[in-house]
Structure formats: structure tokens, C-alpha cells
């Protein structure tokens, strides 16, 4: 199994976990916590729910050892604009997007292409 497939399996195992801002475990996850869980990363807390600067997110991804991906692959970390001033992360499952949905208050897998504009995608080099 590839690292991307492992990340998808870990993200899928989190489906149903409650949404919790800055959450990093089974008690609750936010989108950053889900990415951390899927890829085994240590990520920051203390950020705001809304942020609109993709360059800040890209620098954070690079600092974590993630590299930009041009062609979509299951396991990719995907950065989308989910609303005005709202950046959001998810995991490309190959069949959709696994993400921590604040509105639904849990981690979900949304089938198909994300309904939001995709700004960036990253992955770990294998």
C-alpha cells in the first residue's frame, strides 16, 4: 500500500468523528487535525477558524515536508476556498473529499469533485 493509500485509510477511519476546532484526536478533529491524522504530522494549534491567505498555508505545508502536486492522486492534501475568507483542507480519497465539516459537525466523505474551488494540493514524496 502506498503512503497516499495509507493516508486515505486513516482519514476514512476518522469519518464520523465530531468536529472540534483545533481537535487532534478521537474526541474531535478540525480540517488541520484530519490532515495531521491522515499523514502522521505534528501541526500547530491556535489559528483562527477563518483565514484567507493561501501563501501562509502553502508555507506551512512546505515546512511539514509536503510538496506541491500538479496531478490529482488519492491521499493528496487539498486546499479549497469553502467560503469568503475561508480556506479549508481535506484529503482526496480518490472517490471524493474527506474533510472535517464544521456545518455537519463531523468528519465526512463527500463523493465526487469538491464543490469549492481547489487552490492547491500537496503530498509527501514517496
Domain boundaries, the chain: 3-124
Contact 119, 79 (CB under 8 A): yes
Q: What percent of the chain has pLDDT over 90?
A: 83
Report whether CATH 3.40.50.920 matches the domain 3-124. Answer: no
SS3 category, 100: strand
Q: pTM above the 0.85 mark?
A: yes
Rounded average pLDDT over 118-125: 94
pLDDT tens digits, residue range 42-77?
987 777 666 678 998 999 999 999 999 999 999 999
Rounded average pLDDT over 98-116: 97
How many C-beta atoms lie closer than 10 Å to residue 8's C-beta?
24
Amino acid at each position: 500500500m502506498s503512503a497516499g493509500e495509507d493516508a486515505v485509510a486513516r482519514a476514512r477511519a476518522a469519518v464520523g468523528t465530531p468536529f472540534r476546532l483545533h481537535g487532534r484526536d478521537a474526541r474531535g478533529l478540525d480540517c488541520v487535525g484530519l490532515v495531521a491524522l491522515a499523514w502522521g504530522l505534528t501541526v500547530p494549534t491556535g489559528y483562527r477558524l477563518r483565514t484567507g491567505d493561501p501563501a501562509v498555508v502553502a508555507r506551512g505545508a512546505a515546512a511539514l515536508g509536503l510538496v506541491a502536486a500538479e496531478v490529482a492522486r488519492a491521499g493528496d492534501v487539498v486546499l479549497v476556498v469553502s467560503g469568503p475568507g475561508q480556506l479549508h483542507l481535506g484529503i482526496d480519497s480518490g472517490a471524493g473529499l474527506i474533510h472535517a465539516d464544521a456545518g455537519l459537525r463531523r468528519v465526512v466523505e463527500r463523493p465526487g469533485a469538491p464543490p469549492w474551488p481547489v487552490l492547491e494540493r500537496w503530498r509527501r514524496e514517496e
